[in-house]
Structure 1
Amino acid sequence: MNNIVELIPESGAASLKRPCFRVYDCASTVDGKKLKAGVWHHRNKRDADGSLTPVDEWLCGPLHVEAVTRSESKKADYGRLLRFRNLDDCWLTWAMPGDLLAGHPADILRVLFGMGLKIAHRQRARVVEYIAEQSPQRRVTAATSTGWHGPELFITPIENIGTGDAIHQSETTADGDYDKAGTLAGWRESIAALLPGNPILQLAIGTALAGPLLAPLNVHAGGGFHLLWDSSNGKTTAVLCASSTWGHGAHFTLKWNATANGLEGIAALRNDGLLALDELGQADPRYVGDVVYSVADGIGKQRAGRSSAARRVRRWRVMLLSSGEVTLETKMAEAGKRTRAGQEVRLVTVSAGRTFGAWDSLHGHPSGASLSDALKRASSQHYGHAGPEFVRKLIASGDMDKLPTMLESIREHFPAATGQQARVAERFAIVALALELAVGVNLLPLGSGEGTRSMVELFKLWQAERGEGPSEDGQILKALADFIDRHGGSRFQSIEHGADEVRDRAGYWDGTPDGRLYLFTRSGLEEATKGFELARVVRALDSVGAIARRAQGKHQQKKRLPDGSTPWLYWVNPAPIWPGS
């Protein structure tokens, strides 16, 4: 049966060539019969005497298959661009992935029902048949990810920013909580106007605007910041304000207690944008470290599809902004895990304790709480404009290819010695660049250079709180100091003749005029620094001069013990590793 759709937008239609599908946008008269708006299947039924009787079946409300969607390569991601009128007379579109046609009709109908298309229940399977048989001439690029699609087109689930015939295509109608309300002017007056003199708020807004810079800067992975301080000081408010650049402050902000799979899905929808998470204390301590790695590195887990074949791995680039009353280290410690330096530099802890809660300038408000309340209200009244406007101005500027040079210029303000510090410095510099660009296009009412100065201040505070050297060094030395503090008198045996033996011995101790030296066995040192490679532990001890004695070319030295044995031992002087030494 060759069912060809005819689009009949006006009342009164040409004669039919049955069988066929037809779409009527309003009530029409066909073969003398008045039909209501919608998709109709016109066919003939053969009677017992062999004669044909016309049959007209209403399938659903007006539904047009307007284009074939596919990837720019024309080799994948084929689908159909549907436009239909729902129960509230609103015209909606859905770029439907073509592979849904290979599954059960319910996969498609579930979405259409959810979006409000009225469908005849007995004809629901035929609605999918109608969609499958249409072959429109128009071709549209299917964007299976949000964010940049070329230098002149940025796509979110709710809009295209820039130029290009493309549309976001997804199996569901999930929009990543992108939304708009109020006005850009209202957002500038109620939120942006309070940026001067408030570094934490500048960090939040800058982080929200930095996401679209990652791709032009050729930064393949994201990362972000964790605002840390006591309850009710305004740090969550700063996160809500950041979210308001792309959507409703409270709705665009998620909680850390979301599942890892759920966060992967939302991160993919926020590609080249912002992922805002509140209340780190609610996260599952067993998996939070892995989530930080996954979100910052921009790659999801490999999963099998229904046929056991590997599904396409989700990928994204996002800037992460978090808040909470605990650090990532404290949260992971609840599950007996230790943070790695890679996690710490991916989610940089920034102290949000300032003069008035999270604020330094109250802008006429009587208290920090009053300022926070005003910002919270504003984040739910004027939202979803600043982020798209920033991207629009970025495209119009024609300066996309100059962004790496601009970043290098700003990066010079962030001195960093180690590789880990350099990575954090770059992230602060990207935020500073976003702020300076937004000021340059009159989106933010900051003085030229204030955003950079504020980010340099926060970076230096982070450096001071973290201390010098690689992060792992501090963790290793602290673990050793804690182990000696707990077990120095119970699990280390004196090297003197006649000394009492100890249970679960981790090593020996030798008295010197300057105090004890702890002679760790290999297993004892590994236990004390569980989670770190032994070579990495030795490097940390070396960095502070804590290895007291060693044989040439080795990190250990032999010691003759009372029983006549001469094991190789690690001679550790605890003085350089004690906190504050």
Structure 2
Amino acid sequence: MSVALAKLVPASNASPLERPCYRTYDHPATLDGLKLRSGVWFHGTKIDGEGNEKPINEWLCGPLHVEAITRSESKAADYGRLLRFRNLDDRLLSWAMPGELLAGRPESILAVLFAMGLEIDYQRRAQVPRYIASQHPKQRITAATATGWHGSELFITPLENIGSGDAIYQADSSADGDYGKAGTLDGWREGIGAMLPGNPLLQLGVGTALAGPLLAPLNQHAGGGFHLLWDSSNGKTTVVQCAASAWGHGAHFTLKWNATANGLEGIAALRNDCLLALDELGQADPRYVGDVVYSVADGIGKQRAGRSSAARRVRRWRLMLLSSGEVTLETKMAEAGKRIRAGQEVRLVTVSAGRTFGAWDDLRDHPSGADLSDALKRASVTHYGHAGPEFVRQLIASGDMDKLPAKLDAIKTHFPVTPGQPARVAERFAIVALALELAVEVGLLPMITGEGTASMVALFEDWQAGRGEGPSEDRQILKSLADFIDRHGGSRFQSIESCSDEVRDRAGYWESVTAGRLYLFTRSGLEEATKGFELARVVRALDSVRAIAKRDTGKHQALKRLPDGSRHRLYFIDPARLEPEG
């Protein structure tokens, strides 16, 4: 049935109309003597039992306006409709609805509108998507299908546009990523900002929250983050909630690690150019937590197929991650028999949260660390959602975003020159330091210039001292070998002497030397002990500490006569040297 389009008429007396058509009345109206309540009406006709055409007037829902057509800047994708309406509590709401939802079942549209509080006639609910599809407004608005930066002058969250531009956030649900606002910016400054001086961990948390919007201007294609590690109830969760309060409710913007991998992908996409705050690493699934760290830090989700088996658009994001827990990522992965990779360690840097008073160094006139933690938690759920947007607003207003890479280079000079993996970690600390210094410069944080940089340098040096020297893979390999010998040295290694008793599941042999024992690994035994690493990489780690005690010319092994009289090449490992130098 063809449906004529009629202008929206917010009038007390409706003008004549051509049936069938839809009309939206913002106020009660009268049509042909019939009183109409405000809302969307379908004005049609039907044939009665005598074959006569009679008018019908059906109320579909509360006033719902289709204000504009949305589409990508290229005008070739992401078409949709911008809807505006008042919900059951008389709040004026809008939803940029993806046009692709019109191709599916009406439930996908109705579920969002019902959830947002639009009053809908349940019996006629299927007509609401038909009404939306029938509207063709002339206004055009750019659809933003990702949060964060859109150019250098517009930053979008599900709640607001910061800066200038006509784009609007468009999504297939009403999910807002837990962004929210309450209280005031001054209240946040007094309750949380004023506690930063003298407290490096709190500076790290808040600086990490503000560093997300710096990643794009700094040409950082991936993110990463920090994991605060210490015993329970010392204040590390408070640090995470204070960081989260820069963008939303301190407790609600902070998620738990026990979320599914798919769920974390979805929320990461909503936190693009922002912060992902996760608490209680111990609750994570040990089978997948390592992959989640890679995915979140690298900013790309899994490739998935849609209902038609065609590949869906891959989710992408770029964010900073702040985590807390009583276990390390390495310990958590070990629960599933997995070994942490150096890339995972670098992407999620473990920072000790044990300070003078729990997580704090300066109580700021509070009687105890617990009292300070309680005050900060209250502030994080009372005054929130202001600091992050204000920081972005000041970045845009400065007009100096093109100078940020040079400013970062200047801050990096304060960090020790450390090539390789430590350099990547140093750069992340430096980005947080830059966020702190910029926030101090615009009056957002009540700290003295330079304190944020000094604190981040100190935290980096603490991390480096606790980590030790050498590549992370070397330390993991050497530790794995030392642990294997400690567990199986007396049960899976056979004496090299003739007539010695055989052992089950033999990984090699042992022989006595002046300094103790050497363990002579078979190739398969060495591969088992260092599972997950290529043999060449294992040998390189052993050579770094001169742990191979004997080898033939041009070989990594040495030929040895075994108790049964045969001769085989074995890896002669000195367990006393399975410790990196330094």
Three-state SS of the structure 1 residue aligned to 2:8 is strand
What is the CA–CA distance in structure 1 between the aligned matches of 2:6 and 2:373, rounded to whole Å?
57
1:230-267 Cα offsets, whole Å, 9 max, x none, are: 11110000001000000000000001111111111111
AA in 2 matched with 1:387? G
Q: Which moved more, 1:153-162 or 1:2-11?
A: 2-11
Q: Which moved more, 1:269-278 or 1:478-487?
A: 478-487
Three-state SS of the structure 1 residue aligned to 2:252 is helix
Q: Describe how 1:85-96 pairs up with structure 2 within 5 A.
A: 85-96=86-97
Q: Describe how 1:556-575 pairs up with structure 2 within 5 A.
A: 556-575=557-576
Contact 1:493–1:508 (CA under 8 A) maintained in structure 2: yes
Shift of 1:54: 2.7
What is the CA–CA distance in structure 2 between the aligned matches of 1:483 and 1:174, rounded to whole Å?
48
Given the superposition, is the C-alpha separation of residues 352 and 307 from structure 1 closer, same or farther in structure 2, using an over 3 Å criterion? same
Partner of 1:481: 482
Contact 1:294–1:300 (CA under 8 A) maintained in structure 2: yes
What is the CA–CA distance in structure 2 between the aligned matches of 1:489 and 1:244, rounded to whole Å?
54
Q: Which moved more, 1:548-557 or 1:179-188?
A: 548-557
Shift of 1:497: 3.2
What is the CA–CA distance in structure 2 between the aligned matches of 1:123 and 1:21, rounded to whole Å?
13
Partner of 1:403: 404
Q: Which moved more, 1:531-540 or 1:407-416?
A: 407-416
What is the CA–CA distance in structure 2 between the aligned matches of 1:351 and 1:530, rounded to whole Å?
28
AA in 1 matched with 2:394? K
Partner of 1:246: 247
Shift of 1:55: 2.2
1:387-408 Cα offsets, whole Å, 9 max, x none, are: 0000000011111111111111
What is the CA–CA distance in structure 2 between the aligned matches of 1:89 and 1:485, rounded to whole Å?
69
Shift of 1:430: 0.6
Partner of 1:121: 122
Contact 1:11–1:28 (CA under 8 A) maintained in structure 2: yes
What is the CA–CA distance in structure 1 between the aligned matches of 2:515 and 2:323, rounded to whole Å?
46
Three-state SS of the structure 2 residue aligned to 1:6 is coil
1:265-288 Cα offsets, whole Å, 9 max, x none, are: 111111110000111111111111
Shift of 1:10: 2.6
How many aligned residue pairs are there? 581
Contact 2:470–2:580 (CA under 8 A) maintained in structure 1: no
Partner of 1:18: 19
Shift of 1:67: 0.5
AA in 2 matched with 1:399? D
Partner of 1:66: 67
Shift of 1:31: 2.6
Q: Which moved more, 1:160-169 or 1:493-502?
A: 493-502
Q: Which moved more, 1:395-404 or 1:493-502?
A: 493-502
What is the CA–CA distance in structure 1 between the aligned matches of 2:196 and 2:349, rounded to whole Å?
21
Shift of 1:50: 5.7
Shift of 1:505: 2.1
Partner of 1:218: 219
Contact 2:545–2:581 (CA under 8 A) maintained in structure 1: no
TM-score (norm 1): 0.97
Partner of 1:466: 467
Given the superposition, is the C-alpha separation of residues 361 and 249 from structure 1 closer, same or farther in structure 2, using an over 3 Å criterion? same
1:119-149 Cα offsets, whole Å, 9 max, x none, are: 1222212111110011111111111111111
What is the CA–CA distance in structure 2 between the aligned matches of 1:101 and 1:309, rounded to whole Å?
19
What is the CA–CA distance in structure 2 between the aligned matches of 1:18 and 1:578, rounded to whole Å?
86
What is the CA–CA distance in structure 2 between the aligned matches of 1:47 and 1:569, rounded to whole Å?
97
Partner of 1:332: 333
Q: Which moved more, 1:215-224 or 1:564-573?
A: 564-573
AA in 2 matched with 1:143? A
AA in 2 matched with 1:344? E
Given the superposition, is the C-alpha separation of residues 20 and 538 from structure 1 closer, same or farther in structure 2, using an over 3 Å criterion? same
Contact 1:19–1:41 (CA under 8 A) maintained in structure 2: yes
Three-state SS of the structure 2 residue aligned to 1:309 is coil
What is the CA–CA distance in structure 1 between the aligned matches of 2:86 and 2:563, rounded to whole Å?
91
Contact 1:478–1:579 (CA under 8 A) maintained in structure 2: no
Q: Describe how 1:76-475 pairs up with structure 2 within 5 A.
A: 76-475=77-476
Partner of 2:525: 524
Q: Which moved more, 1:1-10 or 1:542-551?
A: 1-10
What is the CA–CA distance in structure 2 between the aligned matches of 1:73 and 1:131, rounded to whole Å?
24
Shift of 1:43: 2.3
TM-score (norm 2): 0.97
What is the CA–CA distance in structure 1 between the aligned matches of 2:20 and 2:3, rounded to whole Å?
7
What is the CA–CA distance in structure 2 between the aligned matches of 1:161 and 1:223, rounded to whole Å?
24
Shift of 1:429: 0.6
What is the CA–CA distance in structure 2 between the aligned matches of 1:492 and 1:51, rounded to whole Å?
99
Partner of 1:499: 500
AA in 2 matched with 1:354? R
Shift of 1:47: 4.6
Contact 1:272–1:317 (CA under 8 A) maintained in structure 2: yes
| Percent identical | 77
Q: Which runs of 5+ in 2 are unaligned?
A: none
AA in 2 matched with 1:142? A
Q: Which moved more, 1:347-356 or 1:528-537?
A: 528-537
Contact 1:5–1:134 (CA under 8 A) maintained in structure 2: no
AA in 1 matched with 2:179? Y
AA in 2 matched with 1:324? G
AA in 1 matched with 2:180? D
What is the CA–CA distance in structure 2 between the aligned matches of 1:512 and 1:499, rounded to whole Å?
17
Shift of 1:535: 1.1
Three-state SS of the structure 2 residue aligned to 1:483 is helix
AA in 1 matched with 2:402? D
Contact 1:418–1:469 (CA under 8 A) maintained in structure 2: no
AA in 1 matched with 2:538? V
AA in 2 matched with 1:160? N
Shift of 1:416: 4.3
Shift of 1:574: 1.6
What is the CA–CA distance in structure 1 between the aligned matches of 2:474 and 2:275, rounded to whole Å?
32
AA in 2 matched with 1:69? T
Three-state SS of the structure 1 residue aligned to 2:12 is coil
Partner of 1:3: 4
Shift of 1:500: 3.2
What is the CA–CA distance in structure 1 between the aligned matches of 2:474 and 2:96, rounded to whole Å?
51
What is the CA–CA distance in structure 2 between the aligned matches of 1:307 and 1:80, rounded to whole Å?
24
Three-state SS of the structure 1 residue aligned to 2:211 is helix
Contact 2:61–2:118 (CA under 8 A) maintained in structure 1: yes
Q: Which moved more, 1:504-513 or 1:389-398?
A: 504-513
1:333-352 Cα offsets, whole Å, 9 max, x none, are: 11121111111111100001
AA in 1 matched with 2:210? L
AA in 2 matched with 1:293? Y
Contact 2:545–2:580 (CA under 8 A) maintained in structure 1: no
Contact 1:280–1:323 (CA under 8 A) maintained in structure 2: yes
1:415-440 Cα offsets, whole Å, 9 max, x none, are: 24341111111110110010011111
1:294-328 Cα offsets, whole Å, 9 max, x none, are: 11111111111111211111111111100111111
